Amino acid sequence: MKRTRMIVVSAGLVLAASMAWGHHALASEFDVTKEVHITGTVVKWELVNPHAWIYVDVKDENGQVARWSFEAGGSPSALIRRGMNKTSIPVGEVIVVDGFRAKDGSTRASGTNLTFPDGRKLFIGTDNPAEGPGAAKK
C-alpha cells in the first residue's frame, strides 16, 4: 500500500514539474520591439487553455485579406476574472488590437489591448503588465 502511494505521489510530482517546464516566456515567441496596431474583423474568439486566442481578418490597401491571430495573455481563468467570457468579443465586430508581433514574422502576435468601435478597451495582456512583453520597454 505504501509503495503504491509512493508511486502515485512520484508520478504526480513528475507530471507537475514537466507542465511547469513546458510553459514559455512571451519574449521567447514575440518581439517586444515590433509593436503592432491592427484593425480587423473578428472571425473567432477561443477562450481555451493555456492561452485564449483572437482571430481577425485584416484587409490591406489592395483588398487582400490576411488572418491575424492574437494570443490573449494569461489563462482563460485570468481573463474571466477580468470579466471576459465567450461572448465578450463578438464574431463580426471590427476591433483594434495592439500587441507584439511574432519573432518569425508571421501574422501572429501577443495581444496587449483591444479596442471596440465604441471606444471600450479591454486589457488582454498578461496578469501582471510588469512581467509581460512591455516590461522590456521600461
pLDDT in tens, 33-90: 999 999 999 999 999 888 899 999 999 889 999 999 999 977 888 888 888 889 999 9
Query: Is residue 16, in this structure, part of any structural domain at all?
Result: no
For 22-130, strand residue ranges (E) read 30-46, 52-59, 65-72, 94-102, 108-115, 121-123
Domain that holds residue 37: 26-137
Rg (CA), the chain: 18
Query: Is residue 97, in this structure, part of any structural domain at all?
Result: yes
Percent of the chain scoring above 70 in pLDDT:
70
Query: Is residue 12, in this structure, part of any structural domain at all?
Result: no
Global pTM exceeds 0.85: no
